[in-house]
């Protein structure tokens, strides 16, 4: 296990200068063209959240890789007996499969982060900024690292080397950094297969039309396959942030305010069924409909848009008066 970790390179180290240069360039363009892409307090909040996430990611790396390694070794006899191999190896096509499989896992992990309130509580910090810029990419939740590897466990079981898997997960995260910018125009051909900054704006918007859409990491094909794709409409400008912002730049509150709100709702709930639903149903669920989920709001919006407008007819008395 120690040898495994010693031989595991960290691609992020090589990209830090690139990240820094691009953020500074975006800040400069924002200032020069008066785009207001950055806010001082918001940027400091993203920085501190990002530092905390980086520290926790480093501290949990042993746990994550160790978890993959245990699964990898545990299923080795079964692979030999039923599949005829110990490991899938390091061929180029295995790398391709690993990248695709990793992004498939990320899609479902990310989708559940938006549709299960407990997981949303861990993820909401990434969406709480009302600014959409490259600095937002580092605004990651501090608790996600503890449960995220569960979605990936089938891959080491199937024979993907834990080091290869960890590297593919890092490559996915690096790619997603470049998605967080409004300065990149619509690249229509690329949008057919890959996630792009233009498409990712939809994911970070809190417009009802855009809620819970475009969950893919590198590829956007998962959203198209599983019904969560929403193109960025030119006539609907994205409003970034969340429907109920935390009203704070404190990194601790940004990470844990939704957990606190869940606890308050659970204590107030009158039945165990409602307590369960407050935790595991989509964000916004309520037993009396006083708050609504994204799907409920989208259904109501669709009904409003499809409603046939009725022209009011004046009665005889009104006509006589006029």
User: pLDDT tens digits for 302-321?
Assistant: 999 888 565 554 444 333 33
The stretch 128-140 carries a mean pLDDT of 96
Specify the long-range contacts of residues 11-16, CB closer than 8 Å, at least 24 apart: 11/167, 11/170, 11/171, 11/174, 12/170, 12/173, 12/174, 15/174, 15/177
Instruction: Quick: pLDDT tens for 166-205.
Output: 999 999 999 999 999 999 999 888 999 999 999 999 999 9
Which pLDDT belongs to residue 74? 97
Give the span between the Cα atoms of 27 and 135, in whole angstroms.
10
Instruction: Quick: pLDDT tens for 74-119.
Output: 999 999 999 999 999 999 999 999 999 999 999 999 999 999 999 9
Six-digit token string for 55: 């520290």
Nearest-CA neighbor of 196 among 211, 217, 213, 212? 217
Nearest-CA neighbor of 101 among 222, 189, 193? 222
Instruction: Quick: pLDDT tens for 153-170.
Output: 999 999 999 999 999 999
């Amino acid at each position: 296990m120690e040898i495994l970790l010693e031989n595991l390179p960290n691609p992020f180290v090589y990209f830090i200068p690139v990240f820094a240069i691009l953020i500074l360039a975006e800040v400069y363009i924002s200032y020069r063209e008066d785009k207001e892409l950055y806010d001082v307090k918001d940027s400091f909040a993203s920085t501190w959240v990002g530092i905390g996430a980086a520290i926790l990611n480093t501290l949990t790396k042993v746990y994550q890789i160790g978890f993959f390694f245990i699964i990898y070794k545990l299923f080795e006899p079964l692979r030999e007996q039923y599949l005829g191999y110990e490991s899938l190896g390091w061929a180029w096509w295995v790398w391709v499969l690993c990248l695709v499989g990793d992004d498939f896992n990320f899609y479902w992990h990310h989708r559940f982060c938006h549709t299960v309130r407990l997981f949303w509580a861990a993820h909401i910090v990434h969406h709480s900024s009302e600014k959409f810029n490259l600095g937002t990419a580092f605004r990651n939740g501090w608790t996600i690292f503890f449960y995220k590897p569960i979605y990936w466990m089938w891959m080491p079981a199937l024979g993907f080397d834990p080091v290869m898997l960890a590297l593919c997960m890092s490559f996915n995260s690096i790619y997603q950094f470049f998605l967080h910018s409004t300065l990149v125009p619509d690249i229509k051909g690329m949008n057919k297969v890959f996630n792009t900054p233009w498409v990712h704006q939809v994911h970070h918007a809190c417009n009802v039309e855009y809620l819970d859409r475009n969950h893919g990491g590198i590829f956007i094909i998962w959203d198209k396959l599983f019904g969560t794709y929403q193109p960025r409409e030119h006539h609907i400008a994205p409003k970034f942030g969340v429907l109920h912002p935390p009203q704070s730049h404190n990194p601790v509150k940004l990470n844990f305010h939704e957990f606190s709100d869940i606890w308050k709702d659970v204590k107030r709930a009158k039945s165990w069924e409602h307590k369960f639903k407050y935790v595991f149903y989509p964000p916004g669920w309520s037993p009396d409909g006083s708050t609504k989920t994204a799907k409920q709001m989208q259904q109501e919006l669709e009904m409003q848009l499809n409603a046939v407008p009725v022209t009011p007819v004046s009665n005889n008395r009104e006509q006589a008066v006029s």
